Structure 1
Amino acid sequence: MLNVTGHPVVEARGVTVAIGGRPVLRGNDLTVREGEFVALLGANGSGKSTLVRALTGLRPLTQGSVHLFGVALADFRDRARIGFVPQRASAAGGVPASVREVVASGRLSRRGLLRLPGRADRRAIDEALAVVGLTDRAGDGISTLSGGQQQRALIARALAGEPDLLFLDEPTAGVDLPNQRALAGSLEVLSERGATVVLVAHELGPMARLVDRAVVMRDGRIEYDGPPISEDAVHGHHHPSPARHDHVPHVGSPFDSLEGGR
């Protein structure tokens, strides 16, 4: 269950971003507390992926501030505490590797490049593979997996680093329904363990039941921040209420390794 009194792990104030001189984000405030499962929603081009990149340091701010775990983003060094699953990335990357090797690369933020994997590393890798349901494919080449299975491998790679805060940028985009359900099952396990998750999505699908709180963006601004709402409201068929940043969350159900922004 969500602890509504959890400490803030993300605090964004007045976040504004311009790309090529054009404003993309305009004065956004957002707080995410430990243990929350937050869905960041909106139509394509609404600014939700840009906001995540701003929160993780992948996109510089024009104005405003971001604190992670109480530390200003510019001063934040504990990169292993952050996990990031990029949007529509291939896990194969053109390099022959097994599923286990791809997942194991997520431990680099914890152990560094020069130290050999130890017992804790192997345990974390095994557990990450189990969470996403790929234990039986660990020895297979990553390129032999379907797109949805590769996305699950990317989630396992992030989980192997044992992050306290996990960002996922549209992990179900282009993924078939069975793999969407498998992804939802993986994230449900994390949520039950108390992980803090920020999920960027155009549509939630099987993820909807996991969401504690919805944040809806439109035209570079947070328009709604509160309990989960209908897909119609997200996509503008019914306008949600204005954003509320002093809400009580609904009680329900590593930058080194971050991929480049899109």
Structure 2
Amino acid sequence: MIASIFEWLTSSATWSGDTGLGARIIEHLWYSLLAVVIAAVIAVPLGLWVGHTGRAKWLVTLANSLRAVPTLGLLFAVALWLSPKFQSDLAFLIPSVVVLVVLVIPPILSGVYAGVEAVDPATRDAARGMGMRGMEVVRQVEIPNAMPLILSGLRSAFLQVIATATVAAYVGLGGLGRYLIDGLKTGDYVSTAGGALVVSVLALIVDGILALVQRRVVSPGLTGGAKGRALRGRTSPAVAVADGKSSAQPGMSAARGGVDPDAA
């Protein structure tokens, strides 16, 4: 079986044509990216607003409850409702994208909300004390500090949508789900297993790319690495942080009204 799957994956016939593996991968990524972009347009501003104001936290709870909705059942229901309203390929695309958007809104919304809410209130107060107001605090303080959790939510969303976009094949769309659906229907278990393997590898590759992006985008001061510890240590004139240990600089106790042992 493994040899047959390897032969199928490396065959030129598998990759050629409009229905080849290369074309299916592009279709799969297109459906996934479209769903994540639409979900981000909805969830990111909403998460920023809820986290910044502390209002309507029930929206996050409601969004998380959508995780319990069966994806395939929702797809059939939306397809039966929306498909008759369209005459083109949109009759298959729109129901699938709607379902995928519902799937990926919860991780994005939760990540943005949790990141903004976790910002130290003292940091917000300091920003306001410097004259920042409203959106300035959001843009220059909350978003940069919340970036690790925001990007983690986006990574989770991409993983979920790439793994789940295979259901689009049930309503006639392309993508890698075609190998799973058509293979099971015809008894071609080699292409079914090969398609499932490609979906898994594709999800891991995309997650790896996003992990590299996260490393480049997130400030080192927000990470737990050596570079982040060094930056945090330099922000305090009185405390030097090295390898997780804090040591007071000379003269610190005197500044607090005590006696400097070196001066005694």
TM-score by length of 2: 0.21
The answer to which structure has the higher strand fraction is: 1
| Larger Rg, first or second structure (1 or 2) | 2
Structure number with the bigger relative contact order (C-alpha 8 A, sep ≥ 6) is: 1
Larger helix share, 1 or 2 = 2
